[in-house]
Structure 1
Amino acid sequence: MTFSIVATDGVDVGVAVASKFVAVGAFVPHAEASVGAVATQCYANPSLGRIILSAMKGGSIAEEAVRRALAPDPDREQRQIGAVDIRGNAYAFTGRACPEYAGHVVGSGYAAQGNILAGPEVVEAMAKAFEAQRGELLDKLLAALEAGEKAGGDRRGKQSAALVVLRPRGGYLGLTDVYVDIRVDDHPEPVAELRRIFRIWELTLLQRDDPTDVVSKKDVAGEVQEALRRLGFYRKEPTGVWDEETEAAFREWAGFENFENKIRDDDKIWGSVYRYLLERGRQVHR
């Protein structure tokens, strides 16, 4: 009762999924950095995800790993699985007993699959969007999920969505492999909400800003001081001069917002952080 896509670019591995099912992110996505990604759905047996990843870690390509995992499963014709290994080998299985419309599209480095869909156009749209979207793997996965929903998605409606992308040492401060891991467990517009939460994740945690999208502290000192004053971090009237007190207030605010990994050691501010600060300041009326 789900549509999903698993993919890799040879470095990142990930899964994006949406469904008229509560907390779909708890059951469908499985991934391991430098190994691969799996989606287990349609009368899902989540334990198959771990089995398939273990087989791929042991050297099996995606198809072999899925076939071996399903072989002893008496309910395999009710299962739907998409899998991709880190080498880009992708495979999908749609059991004959999966509720209509059920099907999949497999391409280079990805597999899109779904059941109880509006029609085959859902997975076809996902595949086209994935192949057309530029950027990182996460951008391609989100684009595919949005395209699937636009094409009709789960014909029963909407409820939850999730996005998982792993990158070796790509997580917070380089301490984990979790590049992106967000879920919407129950929402009337889960894919749109997933995109909204991703923007916050990206601003707070990802270091992929456009290197040209920066502003000079001396050029925006007055605006920053006013925003910080409204937010309670700068405690005097703006001077328009970026001094030690302004720097301290800015860093205090950045820590409050969990932007410590977005603090630069030069005389610049990331444009994304600057715009967010001004927006937050405008929301406070004094």
Structure 2
Amino acid sequence: MYKLVVIIAVLLVQPLLAQSYKKSEPFTHTYSIVARDSVTGEIGAAVQSHWFNVGFVVIKAEAGVGAVATQSLTNPSYGPKGLNLMKQGLSPQQALDALLANDSGEMYRQVAFINAKGEVATHTGSLCIAEAGHRQGKNFSVQANMMLNNTVWDVMATAFETTKGTLSERMLAALKAAQAEKGDIRGKQSAAILIVKGEATGNYWEDTIMDLRVEDSNTPIAELERLVKIHKAYDYMNKGDLAMEVGDSKKAEELYLNAQKLFPDNLEMQYWYAINLLNNKDYEKAKPILASIFKKDPNWKTLMSRLVKSKLLVISDDELEQVMKL
């Protein structure tokens, strides 16, 4: 009864929900996925389109609530309004139905909702440009419109269901499968991925796990995949920094090394790994790494004494002098 009352209130009391297609609305024909990781509880969305800055327009997510993808002749308000309705307790289907009922342009919309339980709701309007369709599965929905082929959403679903790994890796697999199926009839331009925690901490800066966008590229999915890998490397770096702050240099060394393995050409990752080797008194292993770094960029040598002053590098004066001679 409570949910029915909320739906009625949405339909009758909130005039801001009235929507219609406007020519000014983004022409964001695309393919996307909304999904939940059943192990971690993380919720996310990913998208690609032949349209600039597609991530800003199409995908929205909130920790502990869910994710939304709104595309085709897009009404961007479906994102924040849909999340708000699910936050009030409506199921994805109830929230989507409430918005569609007040949208005179619903036949142009393609929208997918997922909540923190993994429940999904999807709408492909009757006037979405062919080829258009969607497919739902356990903890996900994939949807596409203006595709070259009508097989895109099926291969996306199969890719997500059969790929092992993190939520970002599985969603990327779905996007890659769509592109391999020829994807958007117009080609490709931008892509994005957004992942939030399954439970909100109350601190929004902690609740967003990943928020990456490729605004304009000839190969947006390949670039997005590269950024996801770098994001993972820097996540190790951030955790290494935290370990360093609490004085756990052994743990920090392990984390920095993991980051370096993912991004081996990054001097900063090599540098912090070497700093932790010094903190762990492993001077012989650290010195050749630092010598190589200093040769490529002497500014890293200048930083050494500053780290000592900030107590992030604990080393004797004699050892510091030897390092500075590298």
Tell me the TM-score normalized by structure 2: 0.67
The aligned length equals 244
Alpha carbons 2:132, 2:145 under 8 Å: kept: yes
1:137-157 CA-to-partner distances (Å, cap 9, x unmatched) read 111111111111111111110
Name the counterpart of 2:320: none
* 2:308 matches 1:232: no
Determine the C-alpha separation between the residues in 1 that align with 2:68 and 2:313: 37
Q: Which amino acid aligns with 2:298?
A: G
Q: Which amino acid aligns with 1:91?
A: A
For residues 122-141 of structure 1, the aligned pairs below 5 Å read: 122-141=152-171
Name the counterpart of 1:223: 288
Alpha carbons 1:19, 1:160 under 8 Å: kept: yes
SS at match of 2:33: strand
SS at match of 1:131: helix
* 36-45 or 211-220, which deviates more: 211-220
Q: Which amino acid aligns with 1:4?
A: S
* 2:213 matches 1:183: yes
Name the counterpart of 1:66: 96
Name the counterpart of 2:44: 14
Alpha carbons 2:134, 2:153 under 8 Å: kept: yes
Determine the C-alpha separation between the residues in 1 that align with 2:200 and 2:192: 21
Choose between structure 1 and 2: higher helix proportion. 2
Alpha carbons 1:83, 1:92 under 8 Å: kept: yes
Q: Report the CA distance between 1:235 and its aligned residue.
A: 4.6
Tell me the TM-score normalized by structure 1: 0.76
Determine the C-alpha separation between the residues in 2 that align with 1:103 and 1:264: 57
1:101-147 CA-to-partner distances (Å, cap 9, x unmatched) read 00001000100001001223211111111111222211111111111
- Identical residues among aligned pairs (%): 33
Alpha carbons 1:169, 1:175 under 8 Å: kept: no
Name the counterpart of 2:31: 3
Give the 4+ runs in structure 1 shifted more than 6 A: 207-212, 249-252
* 210-219 or 225-234, which deviates more: 210-219
1:191-219 CA-to-partner distances (Å, cap 9, x unmatched) read 11111222222212356999795889337
Q: Report the CA distance between 1:220 and its aligned residue.
A: 3.3
SS at match of 2:73: coil
CA 42–251 in structure 1, closer or farther in 2 if over 3 Å, else same:
farther
Determine the C-alpha separation between the residues in 2 that align with 1:65 and 1:119: 30
Determine the C-alpha separation between the residues in 1 that align with 2:85 and 2:200: 22
SS at match of 2:118: coil
Determine the C-alpha separation between the residues in 1 that align with 2:170 and 2:239: 15
Q: Report the CA distance between 1:39 and its aligned residue.
A: 0.2
- Give the root-mean-square deviation of aligned CA atoms: 3.0
CA 223–185 in structure 1, closer or farther in 2 if over 3 Å, else same:
same
Q: Unaligned 5+ residue runs, structure 2? A: 1-28, 241-253, 262-272, 315-326
For residues 1-286 of structure 1, the aligned pairs below 5 Å read: 1-10=29-38, 11-167=41-197, 168=199, 175-205=205-235, 213=258, 217=277, 218=282, 220-230=285-295, 231-233=297-299, 235=301, 248=304
Alpha carbons 2:307, 2:313 under 8 Å: kept: no
Determine the C-alpha separation between the residues in 2 that align with 1:208 and 1:234: 21
Alpha carbons 1:17, 1:25 under 8 Å: kept: yes
Determine the C-alpha separation between the residues in 1 that align with 2:61 and 2:137: 19
Alpha carbons 2:135, 2:142 under 8 Å: kept: yes
Determine the C-alpha separation between the residues in 2 that align with 1:157 and 1:136: 27
SS at match of 2:177: helix
